[in-house]
Amino acid sequence: MKVITIIGARPQFIKAAPFSEEFRKYGEEILVHTGQHYDTNMSDVFFKELGIPKPNYHLGVGSGSHGLQTGRMLEKIEEILIKEEPVGILVYGDTNSTLAGALAGSKLHIPVFHVEAGLRSYNKRMPEEQNRILTDHISELLLCPTETAVNNLKKEGITKGVINTGDLMYDTVLRNINLSNKWFDNGVWLKELKENYGLEADLKEKDYYLATIHRAENTDQPEKLKTIFNTFEKLDKPVIIPLHPRTKKILEAHNIELKNTKVIEPVGYLLMLYLTANSCMVVTDSGGLQKEAYFLETPCTTLRDQTEWVETLENGWNQLSSINVDSILEKVNRELTCFNHPQPLLFGDGQAAKKICNSILNRGN
């Protein structure tokens, strides 16, 4: 059985690792890297650390407008599908790589398998929301990470081919957290940040906030971005922010000065796991980091008005904040009662890769 897998962005690399290892025991996987994330620290390091096989094809699409990027991917993926003649095409999540892969497969009548199907923020201004809705409606297998996702699809009349497999990112966290601790414990993390990622401060575990900001709804509006970083300057502990190259360019263009905020280069997966687990709180607009914080029992404040990961809001582990100084400070400084509540297994049991693999292998049986 030959399946083509489309990946192109950091969250997809993380999800691809456990699936590729499992599926290749039984079938042939052709891995296609679109090049949506092409910076070494946003791409290559993940393949090395997570043991992801070398891509069979690297499209080198790079950045660009949504239409330009998606169109280039669609054209190149279609050529590969015609050449390889797979029995299915696997796509992850909600990026432009996801949509391009799904469209290419659908137009050639190749079944599309969507990992992380059924997520909804109910904000169609988000490009990610558009991508995931369109992908779900042309997919044959809808591989959902949670029961909430299954119910979201049911509301849209999608019930055929829907399977709750659990979350692949949970698989990856469970597989790698011990290795992360082994590599970076005993001060190694701080030395690594200083020597290789541009940190210029002495910090202690649990005495810093970890932040990421990259959503277009925040970075494309200078006033919002200024509000976020001005608030970071008011927090009671330093803020470490591995800065997305796109966001860094915008900050530099607007001359936003930072003192309490410690900007570093994007880090690899294992170091990011360590920083997440050992921060006092995560402050982010990233969907994936919300989950990773939840899995590692680190409180989170999400700088968005909605989240597709509503499960993380249970018992206050994650709270949403609108983009204004008072709201962000209130949510970050909240009383952390979440530690009084055990976390239910809302994202599966860490066996999502096996369940997804079996769903594909047994399709139609």
CATH of the domain at 186: 3.40.50.2000
What average pLDDT does the structure give for the chain? 93
Q: What pLDDT, on a 0 to 100 scale, did the predictor assign at position 216? A: 80
| Residue 314 DSSP class | G
Give the pLDDT band (50/70/90) at residue 244. Answer: confident
Residue 122 structural domain: 2-167+348-361
Mean pLDDT over residues 26-50, rounded?
80
Kindly state the average pLDDT of the residues 179-206.
96
Residues 53 and 183 in one domain: no
Does this model's pTM top 0.75? My answer is: yes
The end-to-end CA distance of the chain, in Å, is 15
- 40 compared with 226, residue with greater pLDDT: 226
Name which residue leads in pLDDT, 97 or 64.
97
- Could you tell me if 78 and 24 lie in one domain? yes
Considering the domain architecture, whether residues 103 and 148 belong to the same structural domain is answered as yes
| Residues 309, 314, 319: CA angle, nearest 5 degrees | 70
Looking at the fold, whether 25 and 127 belong to one and the same domain comes out as: yes
User: Do 182 and 328 fall into the same domain?
Assistant: yes
Strand boundaries in the chain, DSSP class E = 2-7, 28-33, 57-58, 88-92, 112-115, 141-144, 162-164, 209-212, 239-242, 261-264, 281-284, 300-302, 318-320
Domain shared by 189 and 61, yes or no: no
Phi and psi torsions of 363, nearest 5°: -55, 130
Going by pLDDT thresholds of 50, 70 and 90, the confidence category of residue 39 is low
Shared-domain flag, residues 157 and 303:
no
* Residue 40 pLDDT exceeds 60: no
Q: Please check whether residues 99 and 191 belong to one and the same domain.
A: no
203 and 109, same structural domain? no
159 and 191 co-located in one domain: no
Do 118 and 9 fall into the same domain? yes
Contacts of 359 (CB under 8 A, 6+ apart): 113, 141, 143, 163, 165
Considering 67-76, 85-94, 251-260, the range whose residues carry the highest mean pLDDT is 85-94
Res 63: pLDDT: 74
151 and 229 in a single domain? The answer is no
Q: Specify the pLDDT at position 248.
A: 79
The set of catalytic residues is 214
* Alpha carbon distance 295, 156 (integer Å): 29
Look at the chain and report how many structural domains it folds into. Answer: 2
Indicate if the pLDDT at residue 41 is higher than 70: no
Confidence of residue 184 (pLDDT cuts 50, 70, 90): very high
